[in-house]
Chains A and B, each alone.
Chain A
Amino acid sequence: MVKTPRSPSGPGEPVPEPLRAGATVLEVLDEGGANRRIRVRVEGWPGFAAGQFVMIGAGPVMAAPRTDPLLPRPMAIYREIDGSGSPDLEILFKVGGRGTALLSEARAGDVVSLVGPLGTPFPGAIPGEQAILVGGGTGVASIYQLARERTRVRDGSVSVLFGARSAGDLMGVDDFEALDAVAVSIATEDGSRGSSGLVTDLLAAALADGIDSSRARVYACGPVGMMRRAAEVAKTHGIGCVVSLENHMACGFGVCLGCAAPLSAGGFGLVCREGPVFDAEAVAWEGLP
């Protein structure tokens, strides 16, 4: 196999070969509400490209093998942070079901199984790109690295629109605000932070504000309804939209065929391999659960 450089960021660059490892938990931080930040160390981590994800065990490996919950959970690679020698990984997640609850109880020194990096990353920027990133709920975890990379696009701009039910559900806002030259706006459904309403309303307002459609691109990750609406809003302004889908997965590397999403050209695309990043036009939205 060809060895590839760490963290490719340009289009068409090969992505690193995935590995399977026991990741050592460094810490699990409470981010308020049900949100958690887990930091793990992976021996030999090959780097990743923005938009890629890992399959992480539903809770730490125990002395006696545990079979329930059985499946690993797909999680976006939020970012790399400085580690000793190779970088450590950070993942932001929300405790919802049993797997994420067990993961939130992991303690420093515990080992979680991990396979990654997986999936096809975000495409390269268009020249002078005006990137508008839309993150709904935990979807923001998939776009942090992208926001970071887009700040390096010459003559470009980056704005990030956050959407959540309530202020307590927002994750990662401080990290995005700490990035140079990233404009952050927030919408909450209950109005507890930022403007009151849906993040797609924020998007509609941002695009109505006069934007150079030849240089603008929308990136959306979140609930299916939100991504679909974001794509519609972008389209009415003649702007392309790229989405990152979150279908249920069993393997994450293209063998179970469980993650298939219907495509507008007919047939299905594997979200774990052809995705999770898709051009919104390529997705047959009415067929997504």
Chain B
Amino acid sequence: MTRSAELLPENVDSAVDLAGIPLRNPVLTASGTFGYGAEFSPFLDLTRIGGFVAKSLTLEPRFGNPPPRIAEAPSALLNAISLENVGVEAFVREKLPALPEGVTIIASIFETSIEGYGEVAKRLTGVPRVAGLEVNASCPHVEAGGIEFGQSPSVLAELVRTVRRSTDVPLLVKLSPNVTSISEMAKVCEAEGADGISLINAVQALEVDVETRRPVLANRLGGLSGPAIRPIALRMVWQAAQAVSIPICGIGGIASAEDAVKFLLCGATAVQVGTSNYLNPAVAGEIADGIVAYAARHGFAKVAELTGALLDPVGPPQS
């Protein structure tokens, strides 16, 4: 399908539907990189973006890891923050009311047990401002010896099943990239009733200081994010899009509208901007505008038509 006629940006419909969550445009911001939203109001009109995913919540407030928690890596950030968050009660009572009307909010949940995830999901169900839930499956599963929930198909299946039973709000499952087959994990989520999937979370990584001969992070291992992981994330989104028919939210190293469009073309319905928010707290708004400009330039009357519009002369993709 080639398109020729250019359109004016104001004639492009930017709205998308992500797993039953109506978004004004396909640009969300990623959990853990956007705080609880209000921190960005000096820099960005929050109604300019599709919405945001709040920092992952546990049942009780939690502290994170000792410092150093972050380090720079080539075109990337390495972090080991762990579970630090205000807890679900404070989120509902203090953080949500601080946000202006018209901002689409997706709450993210994590816990160290499957039952814990179910409890947090229940607590957030029926809360008026919460448009959807995202299950962060990149959390160490204590019972399973610390491997991530999202690293075992059977554990992931049980997790999604439990959360699905606990809530009727639109449910996204955020996948860990630290797996052999992302397609298999995507299928598990679809089979257990997830409305959509988000990928990827940070890539497990290690960095060392040769002068001190120590790992740079106190936690030793951390999650790599930022531009360095973008092609890995794009590959995984492309593979997951072949495997499932539920919508996909693409995440990983997005720094520009061009980056975001790549994810849409590879099958994502929406995207999340993460680490780039730290470098430029207004970047998500600029990306939203840039996607519309791209659609106009290429003659797409609806941004939603960009999803899966990759031209692939080689034929059906190999998994």
Contacts and interface: CB of A to CB of B under 8 A. Distances in A.
A235 interface: no
A289 B66 CA distance: 9
A162 interface: no
Contact of A19 (B41, B42, B68, B279): B42
B35 A254 contact: yes
Given A67-B255, A113-B279, A256 B64 contact: no
Given A20-B43, A67-B75, A71-B77, A250 B70 contact: yes
Q: At the interface, is chain A mostly helix, strand, loop or mixed?
A: loop
Nearest to B80: A258
Interface in A63-79: 65, 67-72
A253 interface: yes
Interface string B154-176: 00000000000000000000000
Contacts of A285: none
Q: Which of A252, A255, A260, A268 has the largest number of chain B CB atoms within 10 A?
A: A255
A250 B77 contact: yes
Contact of B72 (A65, A70, A257): A70
Given A67-B226, A71-B278, A72-B279, A1 B74 contact: no
Contacts of B40: 255
Given A248-B70, A254-B35, A260-B69, A268 B64 contact: yes
Nearest to B61: A267
Interface string B252-272: 000110000000000000000
Contacts of B68: 247-248, 289
Nearest to B73: A70
B84 A268 contact: yes
Contact of A254 (B39, B74, B275): B39
B278 A255 contact: yes
A148 to B, nearest CB: 27
Interface in A270-289: 287-289
Interface in B257-303: 275, 277-282
Tier of interface size on chain A: 35 or more
Contacts of B39: 253-255
A115 B67 CA distance: 24
Interface residues of B, number: 38
Contact of A257 (B71, B81, B280): B81
Contacts of B218: 289
A261 interface: yes
Q: At the interface, is chain B mostly helix, strand, loop or mixed?
A: loop
A252 B281 CA distance: 11
Q: Which of A20, A115, A249, A257 has the largest number of chain B CB atoms within 10 A?
A: A257
A67 B225 CA distance: 12
Contacts of A115: 43, 281
Interface in B21-56: 32-35, 39-43
B151 interface: no
B24 to A, nearest CB: 22
A71 B279 contact: yes
A189 B19 CA distance: 63
Contact of B34 (A20, A250, A255, A259): A255
A137 interface: no
A14 interface: no
Contacts of A262: 66-67
A249 B68 CA distance: 10
A287 B278 contact: no
B42 A18 contact: yes
17 contacts: A19-B43, A20-B43, A67-B255, A68-B75, A71-B72, A71-B279, A115-B43, A115-B281, A247-B67, A248-B70, A252-B278, A253-B281, A255-B33, A257-B81, A258-B70, A268-B63, A268-B84
10 shortest interchain CB distances as A-B pairs = A258-B70, A255-B35, A251-B278, A67-B75, A67-B227, A68-B75, A250-B278, A257-B81, A20-B43, A258-B69
Interface of A: 1, 17-20, 57, 65, 67-72, 113, 115, 247-262, 267-268, 287-289
Given A70-B77, A72-B278, A256-B32, 20 more contacts: A18-B42, A18-B43, A20-B281, A20-B282, A67-B75, A70-B75, A70-B76, A115-B281, A250-B70, A250-B77, A250-B275, A251-B281, A253-B281, A255-B34, A255-B278, A256-B81, A258-B70, A259-B70, A260-B69, A268-B63
